[in-house]
Amino acid sequence: MRHDEARESSTFNNIPALNNATAIDNAGIVAGVTANNVAVENNEQDKKPNRFARIFRREGKERGERTEPVGYLMVLPYVLHTLVFLGYPLAFAFVLIFHRWNIYTPMRFVGFGNIRLLISDPLVWRALLNTLYFLLIHVPLQLAVALLFAQLLNQKIRARAFFRASFFMPVVVSGVVVTILWQQLFAFETGLINVALNSLGLTKIGWLTSPNVAMPAIAVMATWKNVGLYIVLLLVGLQGIPSHLYEAAELDGAGAWQKFRYITIPALNPTIILVLVLSTIGGFSLFIEPYVMTGGGPVSSTLSGILYLYKQAFVFGKMGYAATIGFFWAIIVFLVVMIQRWVVERTETERM
């Protein structure tokens, strides 16, 4: 059990850091996560999981009275970075909630005007529903596909490194490029998908022009784009499962499905939580795909919260209202992640 606990705590410790970085499809983060998991492995071997924490505490006590200026200098870059790029914008955005400001003209105080507008703005709620719809398709699909491919790529197959690299490729390629590519695929008259459907004798589908299909189409595209990252995360998890568990199961006569269901899935649970949380947060920041492909249409069916925020800020010059939407969105994301975590933790304890 210690095994699982250690893993889980390491997984959750990562989340705030990832949150701050916002760029979820960042190769650096993958490396960080990987390194962290490796560290967990090492700790287990040492049987001293809290070694680092203890060292820290001891040093703190010893040096308690003395202040070391070099220390401040060393944390200065991080503190400065936090203040300038996180603290200041956050405080400024909070001030903006109560103002109307288009960058060019002086700020004007509007009290709770922006908040009142937000509550009565059907497009905000539309964007929220759209996002939830997107998540409903995207997250399970992402998880299923990532699990499948991680499992496949964990087998001893030929050209394994090649396949691993190629599934990761869309993550590295610029989102705009991928989106434009898929826009071509989805095109009504000339798109490859519709041409293929046509040659099979099926009717063409308005992938990006039909209000009912556009969001699922974008969800599929986003899955294709991001799944490589989650494959890698799950692969790391898979490789951390001790092989003796499988050997023991085989001796007991377990089949492939049983091994998957009763060993792989439980052992991967922390990673699955990570994948869930990351792709949920990623889903809430959906922007490039609708911005490039549909502009939020047709009939606002692909309008995402961030796209609406962007339009308010940079098309209509309403920084105050955009900030209000931004805070609202952050609160929603926070709530959703809290609920997710709560649900997952509860099922976890139930199982034990």
Residues that bind another protein (CB under 8 A): 70, 73, 100, 102-105, 108, 110, 113-114, 116-117, 120-123, 189, 211, 295, 297-300, 311, 315-318, 321
Q: Dihedral sign for Cα 168, 172, 174, 177, please.
A: negative
Contact 312, 325 (CB under 8 A): yes
Q: Closest approach of Cβ 100 to another protein, in Å? A: 7
Q: How many whole angstroms separate alpha carbon 235 and alpha carbon 151?
A: 7
Q: Closest approach of Cβ 104 to another protein, in Å? A: 4
Contact 168, 232 (CB under 8 A): yes
Q: Take residue 10 and report the two structure tokens written for it.
A: 């390491």
Q: Closest approach of Cβ 313 to another protein, in Å? A: 12
Q: Between residues 73 and 157, which has the closer beta carbon with respect to another protein?
A: 73
Contact 141, 133 (CB under 8 A): no
Q: Closest approach of Cβ 120 to another protein, in Å? A: 6
Q: Between residues 154 and 312, which has the closer beta carbon with respect to another protein?
A: 312
Q: Between residues 123 and 181, which has the closer beta carbon with respect to another protein?
A: 123
Q: How many whole angstroms separate alpha carbon 49 and alpha carbon 42?
A: 9
Q: How many whole angstroms separate alpha carbon 344 and alpha carbon 150?
A: 22
The DSSP letter of residue 202 is: P
308: Cβ contacts below 8 Å, ≥ 6 apart: 123, 124, 127, 296, 325
Q: Closest approach of Cβ 105 to another protein, in Å? A: 4
Cα torsion through 166, 171, 176, 180, rounded to 10: 40
Q: Between residues 270 and 305, which has the closer beta carbon with respect to another protein?
A: 305
Q: How many whole angstroms separate alpha carbon 215 and alpha carbon 77?
A: 42
Q: Closest approach of Cβ 311 to another protein, in Å? A: 8
Q: Closest approach of Cβ 272 to another protein, in Å? A: 38
Q: Between residues 70 and 352, which has the closer beta carbon with respect to another protein?
A: 70
Q: Which residue in this structure is represented by tokens 């798109």?
A: 191
Q: Between residues 246 and 287, which has the closer beta carbon with respect to another protein?
A: 287
Q: At 297, which amino acid appears?
A: G
Ranges of H-type helices in the chain = 2-21, 27-46, 51-63, 69-82, 88-96, 113-120, 122-153, 160-172, 175-186, 192-199, 214-239, 243-251, 256-259, 265-284, 288-293, 305-310, 319-351
Q: Closest approach of Cβ 299 to another protein, in Å? A: 5
Q: Between residues 266 and 298, which has the closer beta carbon with respect to another protein?
A: 298
Q: How many whole angstroms separate alpha carbon 338 and alpha carbon 341?
A: 5
Residues paired with 108 in a beta bridge: 100
Closest CA to 109 of 119, 118, 97, 94: 97
Q: Take residue 156 and report the two structure tokens written for it.
A: 């001893």
Q: Between residues 264 and 300, which has the closer beta carbon with respect to another protein?
A: 300
Q: Between residues 76 and 248, which has the closer beta carbon with respect to another protein?
A: 76
Q: Closest approach of Cβ 294 to another protein, in Å? A: 10
